[in-house]
Structure 1
Amino acid sequence: MTDVLRYTAFSSDPAGGNPAGVVLDASGLGDADMLAIAAELDYSETAFLTAPPEGLGEKGRAFTVRYFSPRAEVPFCGHATVATAVALAERIGPGDLVFATPVGTVPVTVTDDEGVLRATLTSVEPHSEDIAPDDLAEALAALDWPATDLDPALPPRIAYAGARHLVLGAATRERLADLAYDFDRLAALMRRLDLTTVQLAWRASDTVFHVRDPFPVGGVVEDPATGAAAAAFGAYVRELGLVPEESVLTLHQGEDLGRPGVLTVTLRAGDARVRVGGAGARIPE
């Protein structure tokens, strides 16, 4: 019987953040098995660990990781990475880890902050691109957002830091809070554009944002805290010059779902990669 652990990411409270499944030994599982486990658990993602490629990282602290939503494998998942790192740290101690993922090598550092474990991942090389006007119009129609509800200071773009996300800026906190969309219509557009989530963002201050992430392609209405999207968003705001090249951003996510979480996004001058960190905790059985 496969041992499936349950952890939350981006919160020290098991009732907050984003829950993920973690399978520390998936060596005997095939793709169909992993998909079935993820579907039965019904979290937005479950991480499955196997032995690392030869020569990767320190022995016992490097792993191959794959991620499955209830409907399909996804290339990368930030919150499941944080959850997995915290689960490992409880067993082998805080410190540096290395994950070989489908999108590349992802280093993770876990620290113990007065009994609270915090994991920080370093993304793969990010980038962003324009979205075609017709595709943007379809996204807004699926969300039932008039174009006037967009924040012109956060222009729509597709951002990538391991997975592709459509970034849309909300003009008001009220617009962000009112999320009722056409699940199948948005999912169809996202599959066509190879999007993992839609990152909806409202800027509260220079370095503080509130975000939400519809995830219909994963069979989930909304992801409570999305590390991959946070990494992509950090690259997006830096690329557009919306924040200094050296910045620490705070993203609040999950408040409108009753699962508040906090994601810390760190941008470093001279390093295109984005660091995303947060607390984690085991969810009691």
Structure 2
Amino acid sequence: MTNTAPTPAPEVLHYTAFSTSPDGGNGAGVVLDATGLGDREMVEIAAELGYSESAFLTPGPDPDDKRSFTLRYFSPKAEVDFCGHATVAAAVALGEQFGTGDLEFHTAAGRVPVAVGSEDGVLKATLTSVEPRVHEVAQDDVREALAALGWQADELDSALPPRIAYAGVRHLVLAAATRERLAELDYDFDALLALMRRLDLTTVQLVWRENPTTFHVRDPFPVGGVVEDAATGAAAAAFGAYTRELGLVPAQARLTLHQGHDMGRPSLLEVELRAGERRVRVTGAAVRVQC
């Protein structure tokens, strides 16, 4: 009788992204070698970790390219096509093991190049989004979202009209007229979940504009089984495309997004728009945390 040794559990690294402190940012699990793991096992690991998303890497299409990877993302509920903060976490984890430089991630949303560099001794990753898109949203859907959020129509900023923005996954962008409105987030989880499933949304990107290039944002994420994201890189990329599409910023611009402060998990997301290029760059730090 042949004894078959049990498959060893994969090593899971814990990071927080878009912060230089373990007390800030958005947590993500990172499995640098997910070879042999099936979908069920990956979602089980993600559910056990409890982060909004976790990253699972396997070799890329060209096995000879050691800086190219297939990257999949799982929330505690299901697979997600693209996740910015888990991308940053995975890139920094690779940077710590193999050094700074360029990486290439193959995701369900498309190819995502990432550059890892060091700034004052802290590793940062800059991802370049897939081709973004911005769409009109039906007024009935906006009214349904506002009702779920408990917001009134006159509490919106008319200079930043509602849109659905995409840079790998879809987000409904709604702009609050005041910082106070953004801070008072107490929404109907089930009602917003139903709307988001119907519109195929990953988060709702709630924003308040502090000045022409500085924004405060919050991202309800009920489709992932999470009330709110502390830092959402995918939404940051989509929002960058939104600001350009609506002519809110110059063609060449750098935006600063503050997220997570109302949750006690301050996060900093840097968004870069380049003239003549549609893809959006999002930069953030990530640090390993002990669990």
TM over 0.5: yes
Distance apart, 1:67 and its partner CA: 0.3
Paired residue for 1:28?
36
117, 120, 124: which is aligned to 2:126? 120
Q: Secondary structure at the match of 1:273?
A: coil
The amino acid that maps onto 2:207 is A
Paired residue for 2:174?
168
Paired residue for 1:144?
150
Paired residue for 2:90?
84
The amino acid that maps onto 1:16 is G
Paired residue for 2:54?
46
Per-residue CA distance 1:12-63 (angstroms, 9 max, x = gap)? 10110111110001111000000000001000000000110127xx721110
Paired residue for 2:136?
130
Distance apart, 1:256 and its partner CA: 0.3
The amino acid that maps onto 2:73 is Y
Paired residue for 1:2?
10
Paired residue for 2:20?
12
Q: Secondary structure at the match of 1:272?
A: coil
2:226 matches 1:220:
yes
2:239 matches 1:233:
yes
Paired residue for 1:179?
185
2:112 matches 1:106:
yes
Contact kept in structure 1, 2:62 and 2:68, CA below 8 Å: no
Distance apart, 1:133 and its partner CA: 1.1
Distance apart, 1:114 and its partner CA: 1.9
Per-residue CA distance 1:134-185 (angstroms, 9 max, x = gap)? 1111000000000011000110000000000000000000000000000011
Paired residue for 1:245?
251
The amino acid that maps onto 2:109 is V
Q: Secondary structure at the match of 2:191?
A: helix
Q: Secondary structure at the match of 1:165?
A: strand
Cα distance in 2 for partners of 1:104, 1:43 equals 23
Question: Size of the alignment, in residue pairs?
Answer: 283
Paired residue for 1:93?
99
Q: Secondary structure at the match of 1:154?
A: coil
Per-residue CA distance 1:98-122 (angstroms, 9 max, x = gap)? 0000010000001111210010000
Contact kept in structure 1, 2:14 and 2:27, CA below 8 Å: yes
Equivalences for residues 246-285 of structure 1 within 5 A: 246-285=252-291
Cα distance in 2 for partners of 1:231, 1:202 equals 16
Cα distance in 2 for partners of 1:8, 1:150 equals 31
Cα distance in 2 for partners of 1:6, 1:235 equals 30
Paired residue for 2:162?
156
Q: Secondary structure at the match of 2:102?
A: strand
Cα distance in 1 for partners of 2:173, 2:289 equals 30
Cα distance in 2 for partners of 1:60, 1:51 equals 8
Cα distance in 2 for partners of 1:149, 1:68 equals 34
Paired residue for 2:6?
none
Cα distance in 2 for partners of 1:59, 1:114 equals 29
Q: Secondary structure at the match of 1:98?
A: strand
